Amino acid sequence: MWMRGCAKQLPILNNGPINRFMFMNDNKKRFLIFSTAYLPFVGGAELAVKNITDRILEVEFVMVTARLNKNLPEKEKIGNVFVHRFGKGNKWDKFRLILRGARFAKTLGKFDLIWSIMASYAGFAALNYKKSHPNIPYLLTLQEGDSRFKIYKNVWFVWLYFKQIFKRADYIQAISNYLANWARDMGAKCPVKVIPNGVDIAKFTRLDSAKLANIKIEDHIPCEHKRVITTSRLVAKNAVEDLIMSAEYLPENIHFTIIGSGKLENSLKKLAADRGWESRAHFLGSLEHDDIVLHLQQSQVFCRPSLSEGLGNSFLEAMAVGVPVIGTNVGGIPDFLQDGKTGWFCEIKNPKSIAEKIKYVLDEKNKVEVDKVRDNAKKLVVEKYNWDIIAKQMKQLFGW
């Protein structure tokens, strides 16, 4: 039968890595990564893999991922990862990854660790590989941002098989306490450790005055006006519609910089146009990280009124820059956002609540408090959500 019992819980040494993660010789180890997508597709999970693997040179990382685009090469090295893109270059490659990804990985040699990036299409491929290589440790990383209900809607018809992704893991790394609890609820019996995503501190604190001045000219927003920024995929869970609707309760000198793309882009633009807010809602599409930094540095408030969130890298990036942050008390956000200490909570699906928090942050009467909260947030990111620190935690997890 395909369904087996829960993975045996292995002993932990001083709350450290599992014994089978410990490597006792000096030979370079090979880790097999299964990821549904990878660069140039950019998301929190992809950036996490890139930043972690670039900082762990003691390992040869080999990735099997869905190709998804026929213009992408089947093989290439990106940083410290040998990337093998599997499939024909279309959307069905995700399903090909499930069905034949493990078999393909067997042609790539021997490995010391199986590492699945999220419990998605890649998770099924990693599970299949684990079943045929039961003695190789299997690490599952959870980066999911969708609600549990949405995930269930997508996998209910293979629910028992889906749960095996968690049950067969030898170790689980979750980027938030919310996801760690989800892993346990899904039946995981192995150790679960919270190691969050991070921020490239140097990149998000670098100041380029000349480029900042160009942005002021290009976006046609008067210098005395205020900018509220959000950086996110334009999908339902990020509730950008609620942010735009908050304009009804805000003065006309407050503008919205909306960075990102997604299936709701046209409907959100139509919403702004129908309300007569075209001159206040600025849709910039997907931008390179360096350009996102510049727009953050020009903004007075960051707001993303999420309906669900695994962690929320965009919040951390804004905090690193020094932009006051407004979010919702959902998912992994409470791991770093404490109301009145490192940011502010607004209510879910409540544009008026969003507007009230924006006005509070921008009110000169609250400047001393806002500056203190902003400084607390920046200090937190530097001390806890720094990729250099997180890479060291992952190295400990791997056995160093």
At residue 214, the pLDDT reads 64
Residue 13 binned pLDDT confidence (cut-offs 50, 70, 90): very low
Task: Kindly give the residue spans of alpha helices, DSSP state H, lying in the chain.
Answer: 44-53, 93-105, 121-132, 148-155, 159-167, 177-185, 201-205, 209-218, 240-245, 265-274, 289-297, 313-321, 351-362, 367-384, 387-398
Domain made up of 201-384: CATH architecture: 3-Layer(aba) Sandwich (3.40)
Does the structure show a pLDDT above 70 at 323? yes
Per-residue tokens: 32: 């097999």
Does the structure show a pLDDT above 70 at 207? no
Task: Kindly give the residue spans of alpha helices, DSSP state H, lying in 172-306.
Answer: 177-185, 201-205, 209-218, 240-245, 265-274, 289-297
Average per-residue pLDDT for the chain:
91
Does the structure show a pLDDT above 70 at 66? yes
Span 125-135, average pLDDT: 98
Whole-number Å distance between alpha carbons of 272 and 274: 6
Angle CA 160–162–164, to nearest 5: 75
Per-residue tokens: 195: 């190691």
Does the structure show a pLDDT above 60 at 127? yes
Span 246-262, average pLDDT: 96
At residue 42, the pLDDT reads 86
Span 276-284, average pLDDT: 95
Residue 320 binned pLDDT confidence (cut-offs 50, 70, 90): very high
Residue limits of CATH 3.40.50.2000 in the chain: 19-197+386-398, 201-384
Q: Which amino acid is at 147?
A: S
Full-model pTM: 0.89
Span 289-316, average pLDDT: 94
* Domain 19-197+386-398 superfamily per CATH: Glycogen Phosphorylase B; (3.40.50.2000)
Q: How far is CA 395 from the centre of its chain?
A: 20
At residue 15, the pLDDT reads 43
Phi and psi dihedrals of 138, rounded to 5? -120, 115
CA separation, residue 210 to residues 32, 71, 213, 282 (Å):
43, 36, 5, 21
Does the structure show a pLDDT above 70 at 283? yes
